Amino acid sequence: MSELIDQIALVTGGTRGIGRAISQELAEAGSRVAIVDILEEAKSVAAELPGTGHGGFVCDVSNPAECSELIGRVEETLGPVTILVNNAGITRDNILVRLKDTDWDSVIDTNLSGPFYLVRAVARGMMKRRSGKIVNVSSVVGLTGNRGQSNYAAAKAGLIALTKSVAQELAARGVQANAVAPGFIATDLTSGLPEEVQRDMLDRIPAGRLGSPEDVAKVVRFLVGPGAAYVTGQVIVVDGGMVM
Residues forming the site for ligand NDP (CB under 6 A): 12-13, 15-19, 37-39, 60-62, 87-90, 110, 137, 139, 182, 184-185, 187-190
Annotated active-site residue 152? The verdict is: yes
**Closer Cβ to ligand NDP, 106 or 131, answer by number:** 106
**Closer Cβ to ligand NDP, 127 or 202, answer by number:** 202
| Minimum CB–partner distance for residue 152 and ligand NDP (Å) | 7
- Kindly report the number of other CB atoms within 10 A of residue 84's CB atom: 29
- Nearest to 138, CA basis, from 114, 112, 169: 112
| Minimum CB–partner distance for residue 3 and ligand NDP (Å) | 23
As a whole number of angstroms, the distance between CA 131 and CA 175 comes to 5
Going by the DSSP 8-state scheme, the letter that residue 49 receives in this structure is: S
Of 116, 152, 184, 222, catalytic: 152
| Minimum CB–partner distance for residue 244 and ligand NDP (Å) | 16
As a whole number of angstroms, the distance between CA 112 and CA 219 comes to 21
**Closer Cβ to ligand NDP, 130 or 147, answer by number:** 147
Q: Which residues are marked as active site?
A: 152
